[in-house]
Structure formats: C-alpha cells, structure tokens
Structure 1
Amino acid sequence: MENITDYKYRRAKEQVECIKGFYSNLTAYAIVIPLLAYLNYMTSSFPWIIFPAIGWGIGLVGHWMSAYDKNPFLGKGWEQRKIKELMEKDQF
C-alpha cells in the first residue's frame, strides 16, 4: 500500500507535468497564431484567424484551469471531497 509521502510525491509530479504541458501549449500558441495571422493578412481579406485563435484560446484556458486547479464550476478541493465521499460509501 502506498504511504502518504509517496502519494503526495506522485500527485506533485503529475501537477508539475501538467503545468509543463500548459507552458508548452502556451509557447506553441504564441508562435503559431502570429504566423497564421501573417498568413491570413497576406492571402485573404476574410479574417479567418479569429477561429483558430479563439478555439485554441478556449482550450488553452481549460489547460490553465487544469494545471493550476482553478475550477470555478466545481470549486476548490472538489476532487478530494468526492474521492473521500466515494471511499466512505464503498466501505462495508
């Protein structure tokens, strides 16, 4: 059985990986969207860049919320409360 220190370490490592993934996603957004904007400016009068910028931006906000435990819908600590509730419910 896993002790509390191992559990905390594993959760912290998962959190760090998620934050790292968020920053990679943010870096890609910061590089790709301006390139697409330039391509849009050079090739078309229709501003189609807004669609990938907004779509990816929404995904980026979701990734940020996941990486930093910011969930306005379920509140802080919801996951831990739900796990505790389910564990207590499952006891014999």
Structure 2
Amino acid sequence: MENNLEKLQYKFAKSRMKEIKAFYIMLTGCILLSPYLIFINLKVNPEFNWFWFPLLGFGISILGYAFYLFTGKNWEKKKIKQLMEKESRNSKLL
C-alpha cells in the first residue's frame, strides 16, 4: 500500500511540476512578446496605441492561470487525501 501511495504522490508532483513549468513558459513568452508589440505599434502607427489590448489580454490570462495554479488547486489536494483515506479505511475493513 505504501508503494502505491508513493507512486500516486510522485505522479501528482510530476503533473504539478508540468503545470508550473507551463505557467513560467507562458509568462516568459508574454514578457518577450510585449516589447516587440510595442515596437511594432510605435513604428507603424504611433497615433493609436493598440498594444494595450494584447497586453491587457496577456495580463488577464496570466493572472487567471496563476490564480488557478497557486490557489485553485488546493481542492484537488484535499479531495485526493479524502479519497486516499477512504480507500485506506475500506482496505482495513476487508
């Protein structure tokens, strides 16, 4: 049983690490793309600053994903613990 628990914890940690890595890749991409968009806007059409629209979209998506990743994932941990405890109790009864 302990080996299965360790495998489950490793699997959860690995998937969590992939999600955090994806967040940092997305954040880096937005940081690198933003100056490029500003440069294009100011070079082509300096009268209208349209670069604010994609920057606002980047910001909203990054904040939403950060909220989901760093605060919204707690319910999954609690549910996994609850299911593991239930399974442990059921195996003891048999």
TM-score by length of structure 1 reads 0.72
**Structure 1 unaligned regions, length at least 5:** none
Match in the other structure for 1:61: 63
Sequence identity, in percent?
33
- Aligned residues: CA RMSD: 2.4
Moved over 4 A (4+): 80-85
Match in the other structure for 2:25: 24
**Structure 2 unaligned regions, length at least 5:** 87-94
Provide the C-alpha distance between the structure 2 equivalents of 1:33 and 1:8, rounded to a whole number of angstroms.
38
Bigger share in helix: 2
Cα deviation code 1:51-85 (max 9, x no counterpart): 10011111111222233x313xxxx7323455648
Q: After superposition, where does 1:4-83 map in structure 2 within 5 Å?
A: 4-44=5-45, 45-67=47-69, 69-71=70-72, 77-81=74-78
Provide the C-alpha distance between the structure 2 equivalents of 1:54 and 1:5, rounded to a whole number of angstroms.
42
Provide the C-alpha distance between the structure 2 equivalents of 1:80 and 1:22, rounded to a whole number of angstroms.
19
Q: State the structure with more CA Rg.
A: 2
Cα deviation code 1:35-66 (max 9, x no counterpart): 00111111111111111001111111122223
TM-score by length of structure 2 reads 0.71
Aligned residue pairs, count? 81
